[in-house]
Amino acid sequence: MAAAAAAAAAADANAVKPMKATSDGIFQGENPLNSALPLAILQICVVVVLTRGLAFLLRPLRQPRVIAEIIGGILLGPSALGRSSAFLNTVFPKESLTVLDTLANIGLLFFLFLVGLELDLRAIRRTGATALVIAVAGIALPFILGIGTSFVLEHTVNRGVSTGPFLVFMGVSLSITAFPVLARILAELKLLTTDLGRMAMSAAAVNDVVAWILLALAIALSGSGSPLVSVWVLLSGAGFVVASFFLLRPILAWMARRSPEGEPVKEIYICATLSIVLAAGFVTDTIGIHALFGAFIVGIIVPKDGPFAGVLLEKVEDLISGLFLPLYFVSSGLKTNVMAIQGRDSWALLVLVVATACIGKIGGTVLASLVVRVPLREAVTLGVLMNTKGLVELIVLNIGKDRHVLNDETFAILVLMALINTFITTPVVMAIYKPARRGAPYKNRTVLRANPDDELRMLACFHSTRNIPTMINLMESSRGTRRRGITVYAMHLVELSERSSAISMVHKARRNGMPFWNKRRNGDGDGDQLVVAFETYQQLSHVSIRAMTAISDLHTIHEDVVTSAHQKRAALIVLPFHKLHQMDGHMESLGEEYQHINQRVLHHAPCSVAILVDRGLGGAAQVPASDVSYNIAVLFFGGRDDREALAYGMRMVEHPGIELHVLRFLPQSGASGADDDEAFLADFRGNVVTRNESARYEEKTYSEKADVVGAIKAAGRCNLFLVGQGAPCVPLADRSTDCPELGPVGSYLALPEFSTVASVLVMKQYDPAAKHYDLVEEVADMAVDVDTPVVRKVNRGE
């Protein structure tokens, strides 16, 4: 009895004591890190700072954030910083790991719910035979090779484990494709809208569902009870899935139907759905197949029509993906000891596992692709993409380690395999596959053209709602009175982020074609809400408008703009200036990335480009056509860009509410203008000024900057200045500027000390004789489909 009591006392002494929830503060003599809440806050902050810092460093390599999170977890574990006992005992003491793992698994639970929300069963059912064959081959071959590799590992580094579960875990770990990570990589590389991207996403969706079924089998087999227990676990899991479809889905569908487009989703519906996620996790954990399965199944059965699923995404993703999910990578990293891989044999096993994973996944996918007649380069690219691993891989490995199917060394080998395979995906795909952008050549690439009655096609870009009123007022001012008027493609430029909702937007855009059309159908609530203003304006005007959304990384979004302009045969691209007008008159920059977008578009554009310095043309709202009353000034110094600006002004003055004032500046030296300038101005004076009382022409001489500035200010009140980017105005060019894309005149007019009310449109004419860095290869015999929007006939009281 005494010996038993002593043993019990010793066990109590060695047991990890529970931590107090909150501390009394340092002034009470307590260390906050000895309490659960302050320590959890510190752990979250350390993890977020480290993983976001690594993501920033890896950004030039175009790596998904999951890579940074896996590396961050490993660095905090016993492989690096965790080798310091002082660091480990201070930031990640043993007594805090239960709270850490609980928070991490809550984050993981809701993240798997988000993954289920991204999977549309209807899309999987519509998966063609080609994608299905590729998916099956991409699972079967690596699964078989994984089983073969497991025999090698079982006789070397993973001795003493149950053979059956280990075989299945190895097969699953090598055959998984990370659906969310693949979607992010495809979107990053602009492949999501291609046939290759469609095939990869369809195959990955099938792969994802099969992988979860196999993982459920592996978990059931890894139980410590009799085989009969495993059968009961599998049957109960299947029963849960069936019950979810027949009992939970009608409830979720009822809530989705009561959440119409344009109305806020009721808070009780959000709360009820999230509670259902937790309850489903509880049920599947009770069954014995992990709480994640319940959350994943609920995400799958949520109806994808209407705004309900999208609102759930927005409510959950930032908190979960930003704060709680990274804790799971740390929880995994604390179990990953790279130093456990010791000796040549262990490192040779790592090479073997990586090679087996690549050969199985890439080889199986390539063979199946060639059988269904996919070209070899596309087949290899598809294989590399399908070899992407990620969070699901870590989930499989962590479950295997928790179930004692994987030991420390095998676990570390498989984690590094997942990291290496995902890391190489983006650079390899970029090296071997560069999809050709092709388009048919077209004639009208400038506003100034031989036949001014030809239709003017514009691509108007905007970043936010602040740009919309001015853009619409500019369109109204530009519509002219010609029989063939103006067609506008209004493109919302959206930065691609790691959010699930961003990938979902790209995913929906992919279904509507390229490049990201919002073709709104009856009952279709997938459209970008910002385009509603343009659609409303189209119904009230004679302007044909197609609203679009481009979602891309800011470093490459110019490619979407340029490609769309060529495909839509645009003559003019209108870009918003990267600085926003503030109430005090100053301009606040959105950041250099937005300035670089404009500069890259200017460099690659297949047509004329205009940059709009928006100071509120027409105010903060759309101005009705009958109320338009603008004074527009064209500052003409000479050159092709100034001629383009004047040609645009000639079109605008056709509007009955616009007055045009052309100021021609002549150097006092008496030098005459170029022949092209003289001929164009003579045409303007003869055909516009003499026939339209709203247009007037004036000449000014100058010798220094003060003459130019005085003449501009003497012109009186002006709503909009039209200037050329390359205007040969030496007096204004003496000022150093951080906005070379505006040219000397535009840079001066954009200064807050010049004006706080007049907007500026800086134009650069397309020069067919100049050297071009085309992003689109022109093919003469290519079919043309420009998707011209139709103007709806409405009664107008003009």
pLDDT tens, residue by residue, 170-204: 998 899 888 888 888 887 888 876 778 888 888 88
Angle between helices 195-221 and 391-402 (to 10 degrees): 10
Strand 579-581 and strand 587-589: the pairing is antiparallel
The pLDDT assigned to 797 comes to 39
Tokens representing 346?
Answer: 């262990």
Virtual torsion, Cα 87, 88, 90, 91, nearest 10 deg: 100
The pLDDT assigned to 794 comes to 43
CA distance 248 to 277: 11
Taking alpha carbons only, the member of 682, 739, 727, 736 closest to residue 702 is 727
Predicted structure pTM score: 0.79
Q: Side chain identity at 356, as an amino acid letter?
A: T
Tokens representing 120?
Answer: 């549309």
The pLDDT assigned to 787 comes to 61
The pLDDT assigned to 525 comes to 39
Tokens representing 284?
Answer: 């599947």
CA distance 731 to 711: 13
Classify each residue of 753-771 as buried b or exposed e, where b means 16 or more C-beta atoms within 10 Å of its C-beta: eebeebbbbbbbbbeeeee
Regions of the chain short of the pLDDT cut 50: 1, 13, 510-527, 792-798
Helix intervals (H) in 156-266: 163-175, 179-188, 195-221, 227-243, 249-257
Tens-digit pLDDT profile for residues 482-516? 656 788 898 888 887 766 555 565 555 544 433 34
**Cβ distance 69 to 326 under 8 Å?**
yes
Tokens representing 641?
Answer: 């860009």
The pLDDT assigned to 224 comes to 64
Strand 630-636 and strand 658-667: the pairing is parallel
The pLDDT assigned to 514 comes to 38
Beta bridge partners of 764: 609
- Helices and strands (H and E) in the chain: how many: 29, 14
